[in-house]
Structure 1
Amino acid sequence: MTTQFAVVGRRVFQQYWRSPGYIFCKAELCIVSALFIGFSFFKGENTKQGLQNQMFGVFVVLIVLMQLIFQTLPSFVTQRTLFEARERQSKTYAWQAFLLSNICVELAWHMFLSIFTFLCWYYPLGCYRNAEVTNTVHERSTLIFLLIWVTFAWASTFGHMLIAGLDAVEVASSISTFLVFICYCFCGILVSPNSMPKFWIFVYRANPFTYFASGFLSTSLARAPMHCAGNEFLTFAASQNQTCSQYMQGYLDANGGTLLNPDAVGINETCRYCPYSETDQFLSSLGAYYSQRWMDFGLLWVYVAFNTAMAIFLYWLLRVPKKKKT
């Protein structure tokens, strides 16, 4: 089996290398999309709107994964058709060698392209500036790259899992669209976990996008100071003969935040209050915690392993001829 895997894997690599249009399409999708998203939210500030923009930048890049899945499906069907019509009939090599070789080669290309996505997306967003506050630039940048790397691996194996046992690309594409759409809706970005109906909490916890979004947001934005833009302050008047600081002291102790003018007095002056003083307050509302960042990374590898195992099982169940009982 090791000999079959080595020989077939080398041949699949040659087939990909001799199909440059397929690789160029993947590279263009990853690099151009990452540059467009990164510079659309170029070095966002740590205001409420700025953090929402960076969060949206994470959400938009997840859409690239759907396109990577769509690109994987027809390529695998072409390889499978040739194998089942030619090599399997002549028993040149085992179906396990065919399937694992295609999964590994596609996985290798996805992981390679994730490097360019990281460079073209992470640095234009300017998320590395938050790590400078705690002197953890290298650690955080490394983890962000690993999160992108494993998410691209998930997209590759997820596509193979869907198409492994199905005949038509259209059916697999339809199933993929539905499942990925569910993942988008319940990953904690569009709707916070606290606002979800209880029925959908299971989908939130079983969703791989939840752990990518949580891991990326907590790693790139946590442990950094936050401030409000001029139009994001809450304005109100304090009680008569009280300063804004005296009037808000109990609320500040319980909920945090900052006052722009704590010495303003009475109803003649307006107090200006910002609900956030650090990014962790904003992230906690999304269910993203800095202490769980490595756990999120580890859980994503569980999904990659599950997709691979299911691809093998579904191909054996639906495509491999079974011996008839005598």
Structure 2
Amino acid sequence: MTDIFSWQHINYTIPLGGGKHKELLEDVSGYVAPGKLTALMGLTGAGKTTLLNVLAQRTLVGVVTGDRFVNGHAPPRDFQAQTGYCQQADTHVPTLTVRESLLFSARLRQPKSVPDSEKEAYVEKCLEMCGLTAFQDAVVGSLNTEYRKRTTIAVELAAKACILRLILILPTSGLDSQTAWAIMAFVRSLADNGLSILCTIHQPSAVLFQLFDRLLLLQPGGQTVYFGDIGQNSSTLLNYFERNGAAKCRADENPAEYMLTAIGPAANAKTHTDWHVMWEHSPEAATVQDELDKIHAEGRSRPPVAAAQHKEFATPWVYQTKLLFQRDCLAHWRNPTYLLSKIVLNIAAGLFIGFTFFKSKDSLQGTQNKLFAIFMSTIVTVALAHQLQIPFIDMRDVYEVRERPSRMYSWTALITSQILAELPWNVLGSTLFFLCWFWTVGFASDRAGFTYFMYCVVNPMYYTTIGQAIAAMSSTAEIAALLFSFFFSFVIAFNGVLQPFRALGWWRWMYRVSTYTYVVEAIYGQAIGHQPIRCGPVEYVQVDPPTNMTCYEYMQPFINVAGGYITNPNATAACDFCPYSTTDAFMGQNFNIYYDHHWRNLGLLFVYIGFNVGALFVLTYIFRIKFFNPFAWIGWLRRRLARLSVFHRHEQKSS
């Protein structure tokens, strides 16, 4: 690889509000050559990570000025995809093996035209190059820090980036000296194989520092202090600082610490040296500019680097969704804690509710018990929705931190795969609940089909999509759980069971909006509708008819209007009257539930599910893709109102 990435006069400014701005980078120039390992160093707040983000086109706010070139030409439109970027945090799906992680990166970041066999062969080469062959079948979450860092680098190598192979942010941060040496020796070997590597490093040892070929040194404010060769035993670097007034570096002193001390605030206060100004007027800066001009002139004599992909992503959307679905299914399968918690919750809840209302009779109390058995089954979905929000947010974090900036796949493919991968397990869990619950409560077997479809297929589709939709606008699983509990409390409270329809008053609109109004009516109405009611001994109302009248003669006009039945029609005293003769009358009069509405309610639930799916995509776009910040809108509204107030006072004063 002979492509040279360079940059000239890079400035980066971010707004602070109130018309103020802060400059994080000021007139930074340099280049990264193939086969060279370039260190990016500086004091805290010098803008090291900021510069890497700017160079890799990963900034989200602020204004960037200056030029970035590949062989003297503007970078191709897929520059992000052709750049390997290793962040300080080793963000991976912990349940995938090392080899699966590399294959996933290769298949999505290399063009679809490349055969899978060729991608797999390249992955094997990356595993060997990174010393991961012996660990290729280990899940990433089980690796120690060194091999997790190697995996991070290998994942970027598997993408086969064509321009800047690796940008590393603090690859030795938090490591012990032996592990840090192993990582940097490995990075050094990659550079020796012809890769272009730009790497930030914080206070390396003298031995580690000698592994680098070149250095870009920044001082606070993002200003260049030095850019050039380090030299044997740091001789070139030390000569520059000593020649320009820095104290002589002792033989036992670490050159990396020496130069940071030399440009530090305390040293500058004593010598009044502005090392940035010193650099701008130095012959070394002029030499760097000449080198950049030569690189650009030579590069412009050749055609520019063509984009490897002419669309936003290297692979089609359907292919992305397929691979993401496979990854999500593997992640679920290899997370037994998550699956067992889902299964155990359904089984335990099914048995608990089933035996609480064990073999409910067809009496008034038994009919109401069946209603509450159905209502309590809907409450279980709250805990199930909380469970699924955690893997949803974890997978989204991996996408936002590492995979989205690399343009691996579309966010819509991620959301689609998340829905599809979650549904089978929720259907399985609901099926286990149904088997433990339906016949235990005492529902009729000839009503099981529709009830199973409603509770085990349609209901999981609903709570899966609404749980993920609320998670889409939440930054953490804890916030998602709080929001879901808050919103779902209205769905649970106003579905007509705890507060019957006729007692709701002003809140009847919430009864109409609540999804579980239609879930409960569909399941309960169909499960027990069109069935007789036989009152228990304590449920009869005893009525004494007038003299010379039988119970039938006295009660029949009332029964014709209000319903019910009497057990002793020929008696002339103590008539045993049951207020309801059918479950339809009991459901309709008390809970506004009707058997004939179950197909209508099924259709309405699909409308709700469609709304949830649409909301999931829209909320993801607003809160995670466009980074909607409600506090920013509140601030804008306050400033707008303040301006209107000032304008109004000015108008009053003028009049």
Confirm or deny that 1:147 pairs with 2:454.
yes
Counterpart for residue 163 of structure 1: 471
CA shift digits 1:48-80 (9 cap, x unpaired): 111111111011111100001111122211111
Counterpart for residue 193 of structure 1: 501
CA shift digits 1:279-304 (9 cap, x unpaired): 11111121111111111112111111
Select 1:297's aligned residue among 597, 602, 605. 602
TM-score by length of 1: 0.92
Report matched runs for 1:165-244 at 5 Å.
Answer: 165-197=473-505, 199-244=506-551
Look at both structures and tell me which one has the larger radius of gyration over its CA atoms: 2
Counterpart for residue 86 of structure 1: 402
Select 2:376's aligned residue among 41, 49, 60. 60
By how many angstroms is 1:7 displaced? 0.8
By how many angstroms is 1:229 displaced? 0.5
Select 2:581's aligned residue among 277, 282, 291. 277
Counterpart for residue 559 of structure 2: 252
Conservation of the 8 A alpha-carbon contact between 1:107 and 1:157: no
SS in 2 for 1:93: coil
Confirm or deny that 1:40 pairs with 2:344.
no
By how many angstroms is 1:142 displaced? 1.4
Counterpart for residue 25 of structure 1: 341
SS in 2 for 1:43: coil
> Partners of 2:498 and 2:626 in 1: how far apart?
45
Amino acid at match of 1:67: A
Conservation of the 8 A alpha-carbon contact between 1:41 and 1:125: yes
Select 2:419's aligned residue among 79, 99, 103. 103
Conservation of the 8 A alpha-carbon contact between 1:69 and 1:159: yes
SS in 1 for 2:405: helix
Amino acid at match of 2:622: L
CA shift digits 1:148-199 (9 cap, x unpaired): 02112111111110011221222222221122111111111112212211x2
CA shift digits 1:129-156 (9 cap, x unpaired): 6xxxxxxx1xx32110111021121111
> Partners of 2:356 and 2:442 in 1: how far apart?
12
> Partners of 1:187 and 1:219 in 2: how far apart?
17
SS in 2 for 1:22: helix
> Partners of 1:22 and 1:214 in 2: how far apart?
31
TM-score by length of 2: 0.46
SS in 1 for 2:539: coil
Confirm or deny that 1:262 pairs with 2:569.
yes
By how many angstroms is 1:46 displaced? 0.8
Confirm or deny that 1:310 pairs with 2:599.
no
CA shift digits 1:248-292 (9 cap, x unpaired): 121011112111211122xxx311111111111111121111111
> Partners of 1:301 and 1:141 in 2: how far apart?
20
Which structure features the higher share of helix residues? 1
By how many angstroms is 1:212 displaced? 0.7
By how many angstroms is 1:238 displaced? 0.9
SS in 1 for 2:576: strand
Counterpart for residue 16 of structure 1: 332
Counterpart for residue 133 of structure 1: none
Amino acid at match of 1:26: K
> Partners of 1:249 and 1:109 in 2: how far apart?
54
Conservation of the 8 A alpha-carbon contact between 1:218 and 1:290: yes
Aligned residues: 309
- Stretches of 4+ moved more than 6 A in 1? none
> Partners of 2:524 and 2:585 in 1: how far apart?
12
SS in 1 for 2:537: coil
Report matched runs for 1:112-123 at 5 Å.
Answer: 112-123=428-439
Amino acid at match of 2:451: I
Amino acid at match of 1:194: R
> Partners of 1:309 and 1:120 in 2: how far apart?
33
> Partners of 1:260 and 1:11 in 2: how far apart?
65
Where do 5+ consecutive residues of structure 1 fail to align? 130-136
SS in 2 for 1:235: strand
> Partners of 1:123 and 1:169 in 2: how far apart?
36
Taking every aligned residue pair, what percent have the same amino acid on both sides? 32
SS in 1 for 2:569: coil
> Partners of 1:253 and 1:60 in 2: how far apart?
35
By how many angstroms is 1:247 displaced? 1.1
Select 2:625's aligned residue among 298, 320, 323. 320
By how many angstroms is 1:321 displaced? 4.4
Computed over aligned residues only, the root mean square deviation of the Cα atoms, in angstroms, reads: 1.3
SS in 2 for 1:277: coil
By how many angstroms is 1:117 displaced? 1.8
By how many angstroms is 1:127 displaced? 1.0
Where do 5+ consecutive residues of structure 2 fail to align? 1-316, 628-655
Conservation of the 8 A alpha-carbon contact between 1:276 and 1:282: yes
Which structure features the higher share of strand residues? 2
Confirm or deny that 1:3 pairs with 2:319.
yes
> Partners of 1:72 and 1:94 in 2: how far apart?
21
